[in-house]
Structure 1
Amino acid sequence: MDAPVDASVIVAGAGPAGLTLASELRLAGVDVIVLERLPRPTGESRGLGFTTRTMEVFDQRGLLPRLGEMGTSNAGRFGGLPVDFGVLDSVHQAAKTVPQSVTEAMLEEWARELGADIRRGYELLGIRDTGEVVEAEVGGPDGDEFQLTAPYLVGCDGGRSTVRKAAGFQFPGTAATMEMFLADIRGVELKPRLIGETLPGGMVMAGPLGDGGWTRIIVCEHGAEPRRRTEPPSFQEAAAAWERITGIDISRAEAGWVSAFGDATRQVTEYRRGRVLLAGDAAHIHLPAGGQGMNTGIQDAVNLGWKLAAVVRGTAHPELLDTYHGERYPVGERLMLNTKAQGLLFRSGPEIQPLRAVLAELIRYEEVSRHLAGMVSGLEIRYDVGPGSHPLLGRRMPHLELVGERRKTSSTELLHPARGVLLDLEDNSRLRNRAAGWSDRIDLVTAAPHGLTQDSPLWGTPAVLVRPDGHLAWAAPGSHHDLPMALDRWFGPSRFQRA
């Protein structure tokens, strides 16, 4: 590419998805500029905690210690109905007590440490994909306007994404039919109310947020018409709705922040148009049931980051970027489906109670709980990595303790550098020799499994190829592609071929 560029990738938006993507790119040595319209973080925390899958994702990059102590639990809900997430196979439980503001602060610190160029107060005004580069029109904090150029641009700029609109992405779905309030308040005594407990006038939720005396409330009043707002609602609006539903006056409470949201459900028809890609809320919006939006956005970024980095660096086939849409679009579809279903369950009036009662009975069966918990947590995700019979193909590598020649490690720790890993569990030098041409992009690790039992899906598996996002791309036996074919597909030609 002959034209001068300002960075290899421009990311619009410094929310969880944008910051995660910037960090993943930097781990691969790709320079990135992050443009964020807001001069400083808002401090708001719509998301509260992480799903089990996001806990795994953060663990594979060594990030969990940065978050300090956190409350975790296997207790989950689907549409307000209790579901035991302990039926899932993971070393982690879902985190319940980490505000989104804390998550964003951690991710921004990590991205800056890795060398990401994060520019706050810079607003993306428009873009043009020339076919060779993407030209971004940017407004600076002093009112000046200028242009930045990069081979690729990724929109992580939220539900009202400028990138999505400017690049012409189609965004079909359903408009909002109602409005709900979300607020953190203190100074009033409120009994805890679980989401899903309905009253004649609507649904309310209240739950303590730990130290500081703060309580999170959600207010959903039957018949509340959606409004297109340009500013957050006043707390008095939320307090009035709370009083109409419960008969309790909370208007004297102190509100840390207040937000309004609806149940609009939309997903772009493609996650990539030429050199412009979307991730997070820019690609999909929905009712925020269980905080899945933030978690899905982070996982979008982890799926995209290593692929985009490999294409930018010229080590992988450009077609690798097509697998981003192929793998994440179905995840977004499932997200739309389950949030719509949950919305019907906890927002509707008495007419829905018979359905809730029947579903509550079904949830007592472990298979039903496993299905719903897997859908909400993200643990059900399985990518199409090619034909094969191994039960883990396309799924995430389970946490496995390993004993190497020099030290103990684990499959999770091996992914900290965000490189691919060929894990040789039987000290097969011929296998490692076949992968030697890719050793500049993947780590060849020989280690013995520790504590592996016969009920593990890895029992009897001599070797696996793990992508940087933690998903298995090849396993022996059980893959119909041989190892060099799998390496070429996911990591590009060997360095010997390129030479």
Structure 2
Amino acid sequence: MPPEADGPQVLIAGAGPVGLTLAHELTRRRVRVRVIDRAAGPATTSRALAVHPRTLEACHQMGLADALVARGRPVVHFTVHLRGRQLIRFDTNYGRLPTAYPFSLMLDQVRTEEILRERLAELGVGIEWGVELADCAPSGDRVNAELRRDGRSEQVTVPWLVGADGSRSTVRERLGLRLVGDATQTWLNADVVLDAGLSRDSNHLVHTGSGTVLLVPFPDPGKWRAVDTEYAGQGADPETVRRRLAGSLARGLGRPVAVSEPTWVSVFRVQQRMITAMRSGRCFVAGDAAHVHSPASGQGMNTGMQDAYNLAWKLADVVRGHAREELLDTYAAERIPVGGRLLSSTRTATALVALRNAVAPVAMPVGLSLLKAVRPLKRRVEHRIMAGMSGLALHYADSPLTYGTGDGAAGVHPGHLVACTEQDVARHPGLRALRQALTDPRWLLLLFADDGGAAELALRYGRAVQIRTVIPHEDEDGPALADPDDALRQTLGVPPGGWALIRPDGYLAAKGQRSGTTTLTARLQALHLLPEDTAPGAGDSAGRPAPDGTRRGVTTE
């Protein structure tokens, strides 16, 4: 049975943060989606809390960052306690990690999902709750799937399927993809209200003598997520958990701590697992369906949302005839190595948070006192923590979509994220215009000199690529991007008269010396992009606006 002509182009199984991010970005690019979830309705408890800077940068491009920040609590410190002493307070250090969001945002996953659903509803997309994906099988240029609702079965055929259906993914199982890795310690999560006199702009690691409790603040007054790393089956009923946490925190903080009865408790095995393939035919997996991380550094939801963000623009370009299907091979080529690096870093973070070492109570005060006394060393450690936790240091330098290494070159290296601080945005018109241009869902080609080829490139590639000529003066009525103090060119490290190509997800794909239209066309084609006169099924040639209001071709501010 062929797919319906006006039916969904992508079926998304799972309406958590990963599936919702994917649905939002596909819809923003005018791809028809159907979103299903086997749950009866939205989640009421939050497994994830932290939204890290890299994810917030993506949410800025999506138009969601302001809503998230308004509801969340920024955290900028990490404090370690032992036997009533505050051993050290780590601060942030984003000195070589430019971002407009130099903090981790603590926001209940429930609220993150709510914001995504609200925005999807504005775009005309609803969630079909209580609909389970029971089976799926890729078949050539389509996917056959069986859906179940209230005991009834529905057979559907769709062009594409994405499984964002969690760690027990049906899509992953039906495709025969295996999670590889291990499960080690058993931890306990509890959401409680504490009266402990702790600063709420910090996470707190409290060493209790035989283990640790990690405290993470919710946006709600007095509410904390307590992660008990020495849980050993002592019981998970609310009163037992309350008494245990009160005793553990009193030992670590050196004072009585009032702990409310938890509103949510979860006992879980710390897992570090990932798959070695993320696609089979026209089926993909993303998020926990593809990798499961320790909660120690809050990477699970962030990595999953970034999976979805990476996949969405590639799938949209292919579905809409802007790119060859080979572009989709780069999804796994980019995200599997990221998953591997994160497994390594979260394994280290798990060991550091749990501190299951008999000498830790003795060695910690000595080592951390030395670190606190040598400020340059402390700042280097803080930078390494931020690089690992924020997601800003993750790159695609080895991706098939990256050209040039940038070794020894100034500015942003190919394969790395293009971002800037709020201070830079306020001071430099070119960076302010760049930040706005990055909210357009297309590729961005910046030409620091126009030999007359911009209009030709826009005519042939404008559906997929936003083409902007950069000029040294304001041009209020034209499509050019003004960079009067040359800050944009210098930040990117582009030679005078050169060019830079930025992917839809904000990573620099390539940059180079001044080139003619023929050279730039060859570069776009090497990235699997199709000119309008050869794109199969190319539509919208009249430049009708996308849901975000953009039109094809050269754009204006």
Q: Does 1:75 align with 2:77?
A: yes
Contact kept? 1:52, 1:94, Cα under 8 Å: yes
- TM-score, normalised relative to structure 2: 0.78
2:342 pairs, out of 335, 340, 344, with: 335
Structure 1 residue aligned with 2:548: none
Q: Does 1:318 align with 2:347?
A: no
Contact kept? 1:195, 1:205, Cα under 8 Å: yes
Q: Which runs of 5+ in 1 are unaligned?
A: 228-232
**Cα separation, 2, equivalents of 1:478 and 1:424:** 8
- The residue type equivalent to 2:322 in the other structure is T
Q: Does 1:242 align with 2:245?
A: yes
Using the TM superposition, give the Cα deviation of residue 341 of structure 1 relative to its aligned residue in structure 2, in angstroms.
0.3
Structure 1 residues 147 and 380: alpha-carbon distance in aligned structure 2, compared to 1, 3 A threshold: same
Structure 1 residues 252 and 328: alpha-carbon distance in aligned structure 2, compared to 1, 3 A threshold: closer
SS in 2 for 1:429: coil
SS in 2 for 1:304: helix
**Cα separation, 2, equivalents of 1:70 and 1:3:** 41
Moved over 4 A (4+): 76-81, 222-225, 246-252, 354-360, 365-368, 400-404, 450-455
Using the TM superposition, give the Cα deviation of residue 223 of structure 1 relative to its aligned residue in structure 2, in angstroms.
4.5
Contact kept? 1:8, 1:151, Cα under 8 Å: yes
Structure 1 residues 11 and 207: alpha-carbon distance in aligned structure 2, compared to 1, 3 A threshold: closer
Q: Does 1:467 align with 2:503?
A: yes
Using the TM superposition, give the Cα deviation of residue 469 of structure 1 relative to its aligned residue in structure 2, in angstroms.
1.0
Using the TM superposition, give the Cα deviation of residue 189 of structure 1 relative to its aligned residue in structure 2, in angstroms.
2.8
Structure 1 residues 459 and 317: alpha-carbon distance in aligned structure 2, compared to 1, 3 A threshold: closer
Structure 1 residues 411 and 261: alpha-carbon distance in aligned structure 2, compared to 1, 3 A threshold: farther
**Larger Rg, first or second structure (1 or 2):** 2
Structure 2 residue aligned with 1:189: 195
Q: Does 1:280 align with 2:287?
A: yes
- The residue type equivalent to 2:287 in the other structure is G
* Cα deviation code 1:246-297 (max 9, x no counterpart): 5789998343222233211100111111111111111110111232111111
- TM-score, normalised relative to structure 1: 0.87
Structure 1 residues 242 and 7: alpha-carbon distance in aligned structure 2, compared to 1, 3 A threshold: same
* Cα deviation code 1:26-59 (max 9, x no counterpart): 1111111111112222222222231111111111
Q: Does 1:395 align with 2:430?
A: no
Structure 1 residues 278 and 218: alpha-carbon distance in aligned structure 2, compared to 1, 3 A threshold: same
Structure 1 residues 245 and 389: alpha-carbon distance in aligned structure 2, compared to 1, 3 A threshold: closer
* Cα deviation code 1:384-415 (max 9, x no counterpart): 234314443111223475769xxx96222223
Structure 1 residues 103 and 420: alpha-carbon distance in aligned structure 2, compared to 1, 3 A threshold: same
* Cα deviation code 1:50-74 (max 9, x no counterpart): 1111111111122123232544344
2:303 pairs, out of 279, 289, 296, with: 296
**Cα separation, 2, equivalents of 1:368 and 1:381:** 18
Q: Which runs of 5+ in 2 are unaligned?
A: 82-87, 407-411, 470-480, 537-557
Structure 1 residues 258 and 437: alpha-carbon distance in aligned structure 2, compared to 1, 3 A threshold: same
2:390 pairs, out of 369, 372, 377, with: 377
| Alignment of structure 1 residues 48-63 onto 2, 5 Å | 48-63=49-64
- The residue type equivalent to 2:207 in the other structure is T
Contact kept? 2:195, 2:258, Cα under 8 Å: no
- The residue type equivalent to 1:477 in the other structure is Q
| Alignment of structure 1 residues 20-31 onto 2, 5 Å | 20-31=21-32
Contact kept? 2:135, 2:171, Cα under 8 Å: yes
SS in 1 for 2:262: strand
Structure 1 residues 252 and 292: alpha-carbon distance in aligned structure 2, compared to 1, 3 A threshold: closer
SS in 2 for 1:129: strand
SS in 2 for 1:329: helix
Contact kept? 1:51, 1:378, Cα under 8 Å: yes
Structure 1 residue aligned with 2:36: 35
Contact kept? 2:139, 2:281, Cα under 8 Å: no
SS in 1 for 2:11: strand
**Cα separation, 2, equivalents of 1:332 and 1:89:** 23
* Cα deviation code 1:306-331 (max 9, x no counterpart): 11112222331111111000111111
SS in 1 for 2:94: helix
Contact kept? 1:221, 1:245, Cα under 8 Å: no
Q: Does 1:420 align with 2:427?
A: no
**Cα separation, 1, equivalents of 2:274 and 2:506:** 25
Q: Does 1:156 align with 2:179?
A: no
Using the TM superposition, give the Cα deviation of residue 76 of structure 1 relative to its aligned residue in structure 2, in angstroms.
5.2
- The residue type equivalent to 1:72 in the other structure is P
SS in 1 for 2:533: helix
Q: Does 1:484 align with 2:521?
A: yes
SS in 1 for 2:524: helix
Structure 1 residues 358 and 162: alpha-carbon distance in aligned structure 2, compared to 1, 3 A threshold: farther
2:377 pairs, out of 355, 360, 364, with: 364
Seq. identity, % = 32
Contact kept? 1:10, 1:150, Cα under 8 Å: yes
State the aligned residue count. Answer: 486
Q: Does 1:264 align with 2:285?
A: no
Contact kept? 1:389, 1:478, Cα under 8 Å: no
Cα RMSD (Å) of the superposition?
A: 3.3
